[in-house]
Amino acid sequence: MIVKMKKQEFDQLAQEAICKACFEPLILVYKNRVAEQNTGDQTMVKELFYKELTKGQRALFVFNVYYDHASESLDEFYWWSAYFMAQPKIWSAIKAGLQYFGDAAMLLILEKIEVVLKKHNHPSSLEGFTVSRKNLDCNKELLASIRLLHVTFNETAPLTIKIINEYVLSNQWEFLKIED
């Protein structure tokens, strides 16, 4: 599922836009496949899609899905972190993706998020998942911890994106097919 791109289009991309240019076609395919699966288990569709990606695309895909949601606001950062952590396969894939790109700083932030959420008894599965964005309003200690992590996340994310962009540039074959 390598993304095809014209050489001229690729050459005009700003370096910080490379990650998005490799992600956006993938997320469109993903959303279309999930939408087409109107009956039955969507988990199988998601897993089949994921298996079609290269290792680099997987790492890029899971990070971008998380980042695009978590970067919206403090409440979204909290909820999406809890939601993905309640899905151990996805949470592990996000962390593995950061390891794949060699991004120790963002990986450390995710590990700290995990510690905070576990300390506050957040669910480790979607069964009985009742986490609400409003939970932060009810727990000042949780709010303070998440707020600090959110600030660090926002400060670190541009470096993460730069690391991913540089990786893609050095390993284009894993993400892109440049056409004349």
> What are the pLDDT digits (tens) for 3-16?
898 888 888 888 88
Q: pLDDT tens digits, residue range 86-121?
A: 999 999 999 999 999 999 999 999 999 999 999 999
Q: What is the pLDDT of residues 114-145, one digit of tens each?
A: 999 999 999 999 998 999 999 999 999 999 99
Q: Please report which confidence band the pLDDT of residue 40 belongs to, taking 50, 70 and 90 as the band edges.
A: low
- pLDDT value for 14: 87
Q: Domain-by-domain residue ranges, the chain?
A: 3-179
CATH of 3-179 among 2.40.50.140, 1.20.1420.60, 1.20.120.420, 1.10.287.610: 1.20.1420.60
**Count of residues for the chain?**
180
Mean pLDDT of 167-173: 93
Q: Which of 4, 14, 106, 121 is nearest to 62 (CA)?
A: 106
DSSP state at residue 14: -
Instruction: Give 177's strand partners.
Output: 4
Q: Which of 2-11, 58-67, 70-79 has the lowest mean pLDDT?
A: 2-11
Is 70 exceeded by the pLDDT of residue 39?
no
Pairwise CA distance, residues 171 & 93, whole Å? 20
